[in-house]
């Protein structure tokens, strides 16, 4: 019998395990693949404060400044955090929202600046300002190594007494309206509380105890192109005009993804996402070359595909739901890595103290999809912008 069983050892499950273990909670993490069997190892792993709601920006900023920037001190070891800086390149349609969001976030301590298009060269000489109306610039943002981050959190959790077991959760055990553990392919694991942090696999497990989560699996592709040696690094950029995001990688490449306004829905999380599409490889390089001309003819190095966990408002499902003792943290819709450290702390508070520090998080339950109270920013971006 343990206090908490966490299903899923991606970055989110690992972070919750670390924070529960820090609080002395007897924690068991189960993962069908041992760990890192989902999106996390394929993540762009971009970390930036800029978001369209204060609560999401706060989680991201706390994750950046209290964890990623001081990983060794806070968690132990390294997570590969690299401060590259981040620029949100807004087109004419998104510029008013960017202006309003920067004004909204600054009083909450986020260090964001607004730049005119012709000032972009001062922070990123490799990029041209074509099609840009306004830039939100964040100097402290960057990216990390998602595998090192997750393994670091799991190692720290283990040092504090948590256990990590390779086992597939088959169902949540419930009787009389209370959970009492998880049935796995290696037998039952009893616990007072269960957290489902199994990414795109979460709705299948929740359905077994009558909890309907509108989280759907969608295919995502990202591409890596060889960076010319004279381009040592560059900013992380969300390029709305070209509908791409890009960031440098440690092995002299530039990772490019699209926000995929047309979703490629999958039959389920186990569907084969296949090889990257040749047309996508060409398209992303063309878009990259429009913003960073020195990469116009960059060689394609490799591509990755996998299943994302998408909700109707692009925000995760968080907190207690269904039978007593059941918690969920899934449906990140492509934005869970940057916030994972702080959300791990919040979920641990929720499970131990009965609530999160940020009361706004109680709106992130699945009831919002029934009542229609979806989460949106006051100045929300179009389909291509970050949440
Ligand atoms: C290409 C790509 C780019 C991204 N870029 C960014 C970015 O730049 N910034 C950002 O913040 N976010 C980004 N994201 C999103 C972010 O990576 C995810 O939100 C985050 O990694 C989700 O972590 P997770 O722990 O919730 O889920 P996952 O990493 O999917 O982990 C789920 C785990 O559950 C396990 N599991 C599943 N079913 C079972 C079962 N029945 N029993 C036991 N274990 C089970 C799996 O093996 C897996 O290890 C990106 C995602 C992708 C795919």
* Structural domain boundaries in the chain: 2-45+147-214+313-371, 83-140+216-310
Count Cβ atoms within 10 A of the Cβ of residue 185 and give its class: 0-12 exposed, 13-18 middle, 19 or more buried: exposed
Residue 167 has pLDDT above 90, yes or no: yes
Distance 151 CA to ligand 1 centre (A): 14
| Residue of minimum CA distance from atom 6 in ligand 1 | 44
- Probe residue for ligand 1, chosen from 7, 44, 196 as the CB with the greatest number of ligand atoms within 8 Å: 44
| Residue of minimum CA distance from atom 15 in ligand 1 | 334
User: Does residue 68 line the site of ligand 1, with CB under 6 A?
Assistant: no
pLDDT at site 151: 98
Residue 93 has pLDDT above 80, yes or no: yes
CATH architecture of the domain covering 2-45+147-214+313-371:
3-Layer(bba) Sandwich (3.50)
**pLDDT tens readout for residues 195-240:** 999 999 999 999 999 999 999 999 999 999 999 999 999 999 999 9
* Distance separating alpha carbons of residues 114 and 97, to the nearest angstrom: 12
* Distance separating alpha carbons of residues 195 and 197, to the nearest angstrom: 6
pLDDT at site 381: 85
Nearest to 331 by CA among 215, 249, 228, 236: 215
For residues 317 and 211, the answer to whether their CB atoms sit within 8 Å is no
pLDDT at site 259: 78
Residue 260 has pLDDT above 80, yes or no: no
Residue 358 has pLDDT above 70, yes or no: yes
* Distance separating alpha carbons of residues 39 and 206, to the nearest angstrom: 19
**pLDDT tens readout for residues 139-156:** 999 999 999 999 999 999
Residue 75 has pLDDT above 60, yes or no: yes
Residue 386 has pLDDT above 80, yes or no: no
Among 9-18, 250-259, 266-275, 359-368, name the one with the lowest average pLDDT.
250-259
**pLDDT tens readout for residues 275-291:** 999 999 999 999 999 99
Q: Give the global pTM.
A: 0.98
Residues facing residue 88 across a β-bridge: 136, 238
Q: Which of ligand 1's atoms lies nearest the C-alpha of 307? A: 53
- Packing angle of the helix pair 54-62, 340-353 (nearest 10 deg): 100
- Share above pLDDT 90 across residues of the chain, in percent, rounded to a whole number: 95
Count the neighbouring beta carbons within 10 Å of the beta carbon of residue 48.
26
User: Does residue 79 line the site of ligand 1, with CB under 6 A?
Assistant: no
Residue 384 has pLDDT above 70, yes or no: no
Distance 342 CA to ligand 1 centre (A): 16
| Residue of minimum CA distance from atom 35 in ligand 1 | 8
Which two structure tokens, joined as six digits, stand for 108? 């909450």
Mean pLDDT of 368-376: 96
The alpha carbons of the chain give a radius of gyration, in whole angstroms, of: 20
pLDDT at site 91: 95
Q: How far is CA 268 from the centre of its chain?
A: 20
Confidence of residue 383 (pLDDT cuts 50, 70, 90): low
User: Does residue 86 line the site of ligand 1, with CB under 6 A?
Assistant: no
Distance 130 CA to ligand 1 centre (A): 34
| Residue of minimum CA distance from atom 41 in ligand 1 | 169
| Residue of minimum CA distance from atom 2 in ligand 1 | 43
pLDDT at site 235: 98
pLDDT at site 44: 95
CATH architecture of the domain covering 83-140+216-310:
2-Layer Sandwich (3.30)
* Distance separating alpha carbons of residues 351 and 345, to the nearest angstrom: 10
Mean pLDDT of 65-90: 98
For residues 329 and 196, the answer to whether their CB atoms sit within 8 Å is yes
Nearest to 143 by CA among 29, 261, 222, 215: 222
Mean pLDDT of 72-81: 98
Same fold, 2-45+147-214+313-371 and 83-140+216-310: no
Cα torsion angle, 32, 33, 34, 39, sign: negative
Among 109-123, 247-261, 329-343, name the one with the lowest average pLDDT.
247-261
pLDDT at site 261: 59
Residues facing residue 142 across a β-bridge: 47, 83
pLDDT at site 385: 52
Confidence of residue 55 (pLDDT cuts 50, 70, 90): very high
Mean pLDDT of 1-26: 97
Phi and psi of 63, rounded to 5°? -60, -40
């Amino acid at each position: 019998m343990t206090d908490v069983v966490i299903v899923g050892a991606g970055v989110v499950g690992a972070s919750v395990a670390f924070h529960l273990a820090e609080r002395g909670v007897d924690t068991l993490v189960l993962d069908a693949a041992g760990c890192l069997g989902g999106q996390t190892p394929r993540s762009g792993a971009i970390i930036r404060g800029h978001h369209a709601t204060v609560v999401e920006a706060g989680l991201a900023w706390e994750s950046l400044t209290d964890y990623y920037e001081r990983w060794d001190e806070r968690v132990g070891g390294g997570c590969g955090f690299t401060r590259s800086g981040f620029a949100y390149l807004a087109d004419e349609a998104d510029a008013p929202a960017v202006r309003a969001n920067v004004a909204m976030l600054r009083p909450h301590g986020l260090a964001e600046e607004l730049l005119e298009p012709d000032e972009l060269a001062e922070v990123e000489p490799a990029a041209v300002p074509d099609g840009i109306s306004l830039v939100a610039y964040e100097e402290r943002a960057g990216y990390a190594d998602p595998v090192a981050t997750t393994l670091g959190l799991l190692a720290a959790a283990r040092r504090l007494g948590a256990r990590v077991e390779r086992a597939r959760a088959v169902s949540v055990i419930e009787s009389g309206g209370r959970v009492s553990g998880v049935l796995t392919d290696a037998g039952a694991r009893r616990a007072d509380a269960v957290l489902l942090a199994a990414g795109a696999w979460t709705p299948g497990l929740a359905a077994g105890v009558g909890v309907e989560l509108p989280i759907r699996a969608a295919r995502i592709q990202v591409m890596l192109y060889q960076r010319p040696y004279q381009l040592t690094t560059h900013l992380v950029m969300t390029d709305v005009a070209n509908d791409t995001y890009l960031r440098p990688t440690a092995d002299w490449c530039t990772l490019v993804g699209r926000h995929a306004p047309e979703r490629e829905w999958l039959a389920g999380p186990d569907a084969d996402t296949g090889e990257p599409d040749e047309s996508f490889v060409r398209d992303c390089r063309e878009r990259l070359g429009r913003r960073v001309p020195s990469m116009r003819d960059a060689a394609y190095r490799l591509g990755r595909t996998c299943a994302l966990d998408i909700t109707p408002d692009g925000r995760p499902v968080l907190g207690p739901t269904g039978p007593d003792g059941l918690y969920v943290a899934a449906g990140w819709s492509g934005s869970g890595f940057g916030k994972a450290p702080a959300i791990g702390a919040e979920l641990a508070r929720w499970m131990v103290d009965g609530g999160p520090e940020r009361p706004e998080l109680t709106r992130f339950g699945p009831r919002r999809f029934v009542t229609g109270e979806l989460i949106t920013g006051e100045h929300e971006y179009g389909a291509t912008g970050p949440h």
